């Protein structure tokens, strides 16, 4: 699902259903990104839903009125439709920079560890602003080279979204990567042809990989942020 988030000693551990326990660290990143944002009775969009685990957890745990997962990959959307089921949960194929939704369709937009793949983050932010209802909230988690952190946050604000909060959580992501390293190694050994092991180790940012070392050394930073679309201003 993602690189994960390991809470520090002062954070209350998540209470998870038994079927979610294996994904505790990955779900933890969703929980940290959402924070205390209320979702009950609201319409939620996850952009870049991948295989649908995060959207499924949101739908089951937070009970929004609707949860829509959007992904560019038709294969991923087909997989989600077959295997992810919860009240109000659906999946749609589409482009993050040209979303197939009318204006003001959602109360909350979620984007976890996906935007670094987009061709234009400002174009994505413009689409988020468009599909959000007035007063809506955009929650975002992703990584960037340390020297591009300010640029990334500026790109998210470029089309009228207001940055309400942001935090560097690199240390907790590194802790999650370390804690999950053995499990990832077992999965790669069991499911991936040996010739592809180095590629998958890099993809998973396992210890010893360039991606892991960049996080550990602080050359790559992991951020979570909350942005808001201003509410409509009533005429005098």
Closest CA relative to residue 132, chosen from 63, 44, 58: 44
182 C-beta neighbours (distance < 10 Å), count: 11
pLDDT per residue, tens digit, the chain (236 aa), is 799 999 998 899 999 999 999 999 999 999 999 999 999 999 999 999 999 999 999 999 999 999 999 999 999 999 999 999 999 999 999 999 999 999 999 999 999 999 999 999 999 999 999 999 999 999 999 999 999 999 999 999 989 999 999 999 999 999 999 999 999 999 999 999 999 999 999 999 999 999 999 999 999 999 999 999 999 744 44
87 C-beta neighbours (distance < 10 Å), count: 11
Closest CA relative to residue 169, chosen from 51, 55, 31, 47: 31
Q: Which residues of 25-61 are buried (b: 16+ CB within 10 A; e: fewer)?
A: bbbbbbbbbbeeeebeebbbbbbbbbbbbbbbbbbbb
SS3 assignment for 117-176: HCCCHHHHHHHHHHHEEEEEEEEEEEEEEHHHHHHHHHHHHCCCCEEEEEEECHHHHHHH
The structure tokens listed for 11 are 């954070």
Report helix, strand or coil for 69. Answer: strand
Model pTM? 0.95
Q: Is the dihedral of CA 90, 91, 96, 100 positive or negative?
A: negative
C-alpha span between 22 and 183 (Å, rounded): 9
Q: What is the pLDDT of residue 212?
A: 97
CATH of domain 18-170+221-228: 3.40.50.150
C-alpha span between 28 and 46 (Å, rounded): 16
C-alpha span between 68 and 89 (Å, rounded): 6
Q: What is the pLDDT of residue 160?
A: 92
Helix H or strand E segment including 47: strand 43-47
Closest CA relative to residue 184, chosen from 207, 158, 161, 168: 207
The structure tokens listed for 96 are 């993050």
Residue at token pair 């942001």: 166
72 C-beta neighbours (distance < 10 Å), count: 17
């Amino acid at each position: 699902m993602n690189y994960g988030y390991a809470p520090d000693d002062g954070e209350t551990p998540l209470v998870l259903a038994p079927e979610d326990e294996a994904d505790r660290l990955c779900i933890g990143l969703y929980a940290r990104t959402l924070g205390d944002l209320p979702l009950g009775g609201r319409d939620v969009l996850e952009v870049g839903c991948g295989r649908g685990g995060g959207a499924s957890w949101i739908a089951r745990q937070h009970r929004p009125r609707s949860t829509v997962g959007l992904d560019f990959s038709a294969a991923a959307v087909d997989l989600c439709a077959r295997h992810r089921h919860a009240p109000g949960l659906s999946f749609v194929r589409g482009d993050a920079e040209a979303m197939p939704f009318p204006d003001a369709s959602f109360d909350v937009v979620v984007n976890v560890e996906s935007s670094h793949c987009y061709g234009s983050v400002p174009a994505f932010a413009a689409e988020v602003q468009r599909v959000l209802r007035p007063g809506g909230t955009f929650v975002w988690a992703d990584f960037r080279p340390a020297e591009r952190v300010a640029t990334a946050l500026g790109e998210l604000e470029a089309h009228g979204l207001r940055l309400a909060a942001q935090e560097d959580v690199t240390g907790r992501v590194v802790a999650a990567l370390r804690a999950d390293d053995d499990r990832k190694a077992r999965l790669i050994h069991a499911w991936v042809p040996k010739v592809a092991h180095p590629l998958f180790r890099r993809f998973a940012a396992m210890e010893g990989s360039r991606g892991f070392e960049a996080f550990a050394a602080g050359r790559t930073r992991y951020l979570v942020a909350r942005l808001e679309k201003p509410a409509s201003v009533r005429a005098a």
